[in-house]
Amino acid sequence: MPLILPVKDKNPQWGNDCFIAENATIVGDVQMGDNCSVWFNAVIRGDVNYIKIGNNTNIQDGAVIHATYLRAATTIGDNVSIGHNALVHGCTLHNNVLIGMGAIVMDHADVQPFVIIAAGAVVLENTVCESGYLYAGMPAKKIKPLTEEQKELLKKLPNNYIMYSSWFKD
């Protein structure tokens, strides 16, 4: 049974057909859309500020979603894939974004639509990641434009996670 807890009378809420793994943690002011998945050992902590997550978004194993008290909420759009052990903190991820495994996205970063943040990248505070590019490194830098194939991947990957999560539903 996942750990779902209110914080200061704010309960996590999610839409239709979501999958939440048995050992995932979701607390506080968290709003999640339809067809989302929160995988094993993922943590979404809406205790110090709100976290809003759109539709068809997957938060993979070990990922942490958090915010900063009185300073930086977290907003995640539709069709976003957050890779294993990534940290998304007090930032905005627009639609059709991939955050690679082990990547970190810090407060007030703005990751625009159709962006890939490479595995292990560190997106520093206040960074704007321009739509249509791959970002990599520490700190993350614009590396190259996305190919049409990569843009199609950003559209299709969330559907894979919807399918995977169906394997765990009753």
Which fold is adopted by the domain 3-166?
UDP N-Acetylglucosamine Acyltransferase; domain 1 (2.160.10)
Q: What is the pLDDT of residues 102-153, one digit of tens each?
A: 999 999 999 999 999 999 999 999 999 999 999 999 999 999 999 999 999 9
How confident is residue 31, by pLDDT bands cut at 50, 70 and 90?
very high
pLDDT of 163 higher than 90? yes
Q: What is the pLDDT of residues 49-100, one digit of tens each?
A: 999 999 999 999 999 999 999 999 999 999 999 999 999 999 999 999 999 9
* Helix intervals (H) in 73-147: none
Instruction: Supply the pLDDT for residue 169.
Output: 82
pLDDT of 154 higher than 80? yes
Domain boundaries, the chain: 3-166
Question: What is the rounded CA–CA span in Å between residue 120 and residue 103?
Answer: 4
Q: Which residues are CB-neighbours of 55 under 8 A, at least 6 positions away?
A: 15, 33, 34, 35, 36, 78, 79
Q: Assign 138 to helix, strand or coil.
A: coil
Does residue 97 contact residue 80 with C-beta atoms inside 8 Å? yes
Instruction: Supply the pLDDT for residue 29.
Output: 98
Tokens 């998304």 appear where? 88
Tokens 């190259």 appear where? 144
Question: What is the rounded CA–CA span in Å between residue 43 and residue 48?
Answer: 14
